[in-house]
Amino acid sequence: MEQNNETYGNFILLGFSDQPQLEVILFVIVLISYLLTLVGNISIITVSCLDSKLHTPMYFFLTNLSFLDLCFTTSIVPQLLWNLKGPAKTITPAGCAIQLYVSLSLGTTECVLLTIMAYDRYVAVCRPLNYNTFMHPSFCKTLAGIAWISGIGNTLIQSSITLRLPRCGHRLIHHFLCEVPAMMKLVCVDIHANEVQLFVATLVLLLLPMTLILVSYGCIVQTVIKIKSVRAWHKVLRTCGSHLIVVSLFFGPSSAIYIQPKRSYGHSQGKFLTLFYTVVTPTLNPLIYTLRNRDVKGALKRLLRREKNS
């Protein structure tokens, strides 16, 4: 099989092929997660667009996040399911390049967008009287545009550089997707400069957003401490709790992948961490926002009631 694949120039995504029994279980889990991701995120986008009560900055950014998660998982999961279901583990060079560009772009965009959502929560809690002035619709669109442009800019640089590095015929990717760290392991020349560049990009696009999110919530905590009303406390926890959980689920595994020292974890651990933030997290996000958010649950009920009566 490998000889044939090399003849046609395809990459081989080894993924979880060393654990064939696990592949069957993973296929079912990933398929169910993907279906839940589609249903959950499409539902949030639909209710946010159709319900006028949700035409606020918070739900504008949440709609962007749901759309991001839909595209992010779709750029990875179909290929993963194809590889899990049988012995064929190949992906064409064009398919690998597309997956690399799209997944990195969307992953970067999500880092920036989650930071913007933290700023939105900061303004809502710490500057409530000026919220509508600060978070004007045109300003919100500008912030969302910055997030998307950041993702596109980063992937044009990182992915292009990675794909141009000489691989000397190496095509066995010890992963289930084409991503920068996995692709760099195929390179047959000294890549120290590229590793430094990747580390700097990680500092800017992963650690900096995490720092800004922590600063935003530090200010929120200071404000909340001064609040004596229990009802106000619960309201703040409702508005910020969901975002904090989503941030932890996304930044935790992704930072473990990109920030840790080289070879500080085994192949399997790295693959499962990547599987978590690329497949599981987008599935949990809509559940977290709907289960913990009265506005979204109320909008869903109104939409279902409207459909039933029509």
Q: Please give the model's pTM, rounded to 2 decimal places.
A: 0.88
**What is the distance between the alpha carbons of residues 149 and 165, in angstroms, rounded to a whole number?**
25
Q: Give the mean pLDDT of 279-285.
A: 90
pLDDT band at 70 (very low <50, low <70, confident <90, very high): very high
Element (H, E) at 164: helix 137-164
243-260 pLDDT per residue, tens: 888 999 899 888 887 776
> Does some domain include residue 222?
yes
Can you read off the two tokens belonging to residue 289? Answer: 């926002």
Which comes out higher in pLDDT, residue 269 or 72?
72
Q: Report whether pLDDT(214) > 70.
A: yes
State residue 292's pLDDT score. 63
- Please report, rounded to a whole number, the percentage of residues in the chain having pLDDT higher than 90: 38
Is residue 3's pLDDT more than 50?
Answer: no
What would the pLDDT profile of 230-240 be if each residue is shown by its tens digit? 776 777 777 78
Evaluate whether residue 156 is within a structural domain: yes
Residue 307 in any domain: the answer is no
Q: pLDDT averaged over the chain?
A: 85
Q: What local confidence, expressed as pLDDT, does residue 81 receive?
A: 93
Of 309 and 102, which is predicted with more confidence?
A: 102
> Which pLDDT belongs to residue 7?
39
Q: What is the pLDDT of residue 264?
A: 44
- pLDDT value for 262: 54
Asked if the structure places residue 81 within a domain, the reply is yes
Q: What is the pLDDT of residue 160?
A: 92
225-231: average pLDDT: 75
> Is the Cβ–Cβ distance between 58 and 140 less than 8 Å?
no
Query: Is residue 265 predicted with pLDDT exceeding 60?
Result: no
Q: At what angle do helices 267-275 and 230-258 cross, to 10 degrees?
A: 140
Tell me: the pLDDT tens digits for 135-150?
Answer: 999 999 999 999 999 9
d(CA 124, CA 239): 9
Query: Of 15-19, 112-116, 217-221, which range is least confident?
Result: 15-19
CATH code (residue 190): 1.20.1070.10
Is 80 exceeded by the pLDDT of residue 120? yes
**Domain total in the chain:** 1
| Long-range CB contacts for residues 288-296, cutoff 8 Å, separation at least 24 | 288/242, 288/245, 288/246, 289/44, 289/62, 289/242, 289/246, 290/40, 290/43, 290/44, 292/238, 292/241, 292/242, 292/245, 293/238, 293/242, 294/238, 295/53, 295/54, 295/59, 296/44, 296/47, 296/54
Give the sign of the dihedral formed by CA 159, CA 162, CA 167, CA 173.
negative
Expressed as residue numbers, the domain containing 118 is: 2-302
- 308 in a structural domain: no
Work out the pLDDT band at 154, boundaries 50, 70, 90: very high
Mean pLDDT confidence for 56-79: 93
Please check whether residue 151 is in contact with residue 106, taking contact to mean a CB–CB distance below 8 angstroms. yes
- Interval 153-174 mean pLDDT: 89
The answer to whether position 309 is within a domain reads no
The three-class DSSP label of residue 172 is: strand
* pLDDT value of position 310: 63
User: How far from 229 is each of 10, 49, 140, 168, CA to CA, in Å?
Assistant: 62, 33, 30, 66
> What angle in degrees, to the nearest 10, is found between the helix axes of 137-164 and 57-74?
20
SS3 165: coil
CA gap 170, 209 in Å, rounded: 35
Residue 285 lies in a domain: yes
Whether 230 is in a domain gets the answer: yes
